[in-house]
Amino acid sequence: MVLKVYGPHFASPKRALVTLIEKGVPFETIPVDLMKGEHKQPAYLALQPFGTVPAVVDGDYKIFESRAVMRYVAEKYRSQGPDLLGKTVEDRGQVEQWLDVEATTFHPPLLNLTLHIMFASVMGFPSDEKLIKESEEKLAAVLDVYEAQLSKSKYLAGDFVSLADLAHLPFTDYLVGPIGKAYMIKDRKHVSAWWDDISSRPAWKETIEKYSFPA
Amino acid sequence: MVLKVYGPHFASPKRALVTLIEKGVPFETIPVDLMKGEHKQPAYLALQPFGTVPAVVDGDYKIFESRAVMRYVAEKYRSQGPDLLGKTVEDRGQVEQWLDVEATTFHPPLLNLTLHIMFASVMGFPSDEKLIKESEEKLAAVLDVYEAQLSKSKYLAGDFVSLADLAHLPFTDYLVGPIGKAYMIKDRKHVSAWWDDISSRPAWKETIEKYSFPA
């Protein structure tokens, strides 16, 4: 029974998908219809009690939180594919550091941009222009730190691609695409080179080709 | 040269401190005076480019983000003290899941309560009553999920104490103390028993006795 990923068409679950594809792990996907509120029904809440995507079921084992799924997959299949956790305790520390930066510092302002630029009208709430401006300023300050870091090493955690880089893919893909703020990446030389590198990895291309957001 | 923790008197660095004490790792602490803006000076920014605490220096190695430091210490000193990462890949997956829940779901509303109830007047911004009310409602919903989880296992990730539990200590200590909302913990039977258990661990008692917030 192969591993199942719930909610593949949304952004956060793509952190799990790209990791599974990088590691060559077979999986299947199960759509979750957020528009119909399927994520708030008992069957789904039994897998993910907060009612968000993704949820993952691996045989008898259940796990949620996209970045935890990434770590679980990278650890369980450590011996195959790229070592996305780093080879030493010190390297893994840097991977964990930048994974946490993504989760707690990079993602929140980008999520605000996503919700208020891409989804406000679809979800029926007014787009908050003040919040959009503040969020872009916060994200710009974060990207300035990334620019300095990526002038010192090719990837965030060092000279090896890791979960820390891959975790940025789904929402940065929104930033340079439907959010319409590609300049935030392109205007920073090292961030731009990093983005070109990670977003052209075959595993990411496969992820967005197979699981694009439903039109 | 022992490991150095910068900013021990603030809450987030206490995630690192309690982990070091649990694991019996020697360390020293270096105060950072946030009121004087020391965290925005070049010397500190060289350790932590976002200008937040903690920063950690372990010989030639530098690491920041409190939950990344916890993982680094627990992994480096895996063979001594309690195994705070779980014994199997599956257990570690659950530890990672609840660590990410703490970082991305539990912490943000509690940080709002901390800033707007404990620090607004000290930091000179108006306390936002609407945000306080919304944040309490969000945190209550999160704690309802915790109550269900902790009715099934003694600790968040299973029947073993882990980093996922310890990560909650510093800001929940604010919640039941200076924030004045202990009822949010006490009114939930299993959450309350869990809190009594983890907050009475000798490592946590030592942390708050030695590194209390400056009066």
β-pair type (B27-30, B3-6): parallel
- Tell me the pLDDT tens digit for each residue of A5-16: 999 999 999 999
Assess B145–A contact: CB distance below 8 Å, yes or no: yes
pTM, two decimal places: 0.97
Assess B156–A contact: CB distance below 8 Å, yes or no: no
pLDDT at A121: 86
- Tell me the pLDDT tens digit for each residue of B119-160: 998 888 999 999 999 999 999 999 999 999 999 999 999 999
Q: Is the pLDDT of residue B203 over 70?
A: yes
Chain B residue numbers touching A64 (CB-CB < 8 A):
97
The secondary structure of chain A as a DSSP string is: --EEEE-TTSTTHHHHHHHHHHTT--EEEE---GGGTGGGSHHHHTT-TT--S-EEEETTEEEESHHHHHHHHHHHTTTSS--TT-SSHHHHHHHHHHHHHIIIIIHHHHHHHIIIIIIHHHHT----HHHHHHHHHHHHHHHHHHHHHHTTSSBTTBSS--HHHHTTHHHHHHHHTTT--THHHHTSHHHHHHHHHHHTSHHHHHHHHHSPPP-
**Banded pLDDT at B52 (limits 50, 70, 90):** very high
**Banded pLDDT at A208 (limits 50, 70, 90):** very high
Contact at CB, B92 and A101, closer than 8 angstroms:
no
- Tell me the pLDDT tens digit for each residue of B67-113: 999 999 999 999 999 999 999 999 999 999 999 999 999 999 999 99
Contact at CB, B145 and A49, closer than 8 angstroms:
yes
pLDDT at A1: 84
Q: Structural domains in chain B?
A: 3-81 (3.40.30.10), 89-204 (1.20.1050.10)
CA distance to partner chain A, nearest, from residue B142 (Å):
8
Assess A45–B contact: CB distance below 8 Å, yes or no: no
Q: Is the pLDDT of residue A197 over 90?
A: yes
CA distance to partner chain A, nearest, from residue B200 (Å):
28
Assess B67–A contact: CB distance below 8 Å, yes or no: yes
Kindly report whether the peptide bond that precedes residue B126 is cis, defined as omega within 30 degrees of 0: no
Chain A residue numbers touching B69 (CB-CB < 8 A):
93
pLDDT at A214: 66
Assess B79–A contact: CB distance below 8 Å, yes or no: no
pLDDT at B136: 98
Q: Is the pLDDT of residue B213 over 80?
A: no
pLDDT at A122: 84
Assess A96–B contact: CB distance below 8 Å, yes or no: yes
Say which DSSP state B106 is in: I
- Taking all residues of chain A, what is their mean pLDDT, rounded to a whole number? 97
Contact at CB, B96 and A72, closer than 8 angstroms:
yes
Q: Is the pLDDT of residue B215 over 60?
A: no
Contact at CB, A100 and B148, closer than 8 angstroms:
no
CA distance to partner chain B, nearest, from residue A178 (Å):
24
Q: Crossing angle for the helix pair A13-22 and A202-210, nearest 10 degrees?
A: 130
Assess B23–A contact: CB distance below 8 Å, yes or no: no
Q: What angle do CA A90, A95, A101 make, to 5 degrees?
A: 125
Contact at CB, A96 and B64, closer than 8 angstroms:
no
**Banded pLDDT at A215 (limits 50, 70, 90):** low
- Tell me the pLDDT tens digit for each residue of A161-189: 999 999 999 999 999 999 999 999 999 99
Q: Is the pLDDT of residue B6 over 80?
A: yes
Mutate to test the interface with B, among A3, A44, A89, A153 (most CBs of B within 10 A): A89
CA distance to partner chain A, nearest, from residue B69 (Å):
7
In this complex, the residue of A61, A67, A104 whose CB is nearest that of residue B90 is A61
Picking from A33-37, A61-65, A87-91, which range would have the lowest pLDDT averaged per residue? A33-37
Percentage of residues of chain B with pLDDT beyond 90 = 95
Contact at CB, B64 and A97, closer than 8 angstroms:
yes
- Tell me the pLDDT tens digit for each residue of A25-61: 999 999 999 989 999 999 999 999 999 999 999 999 9
pLDDT at B61: 98
Report the alpha-carbon distance of residue A69 to residue B85 in Å, rounded: 15
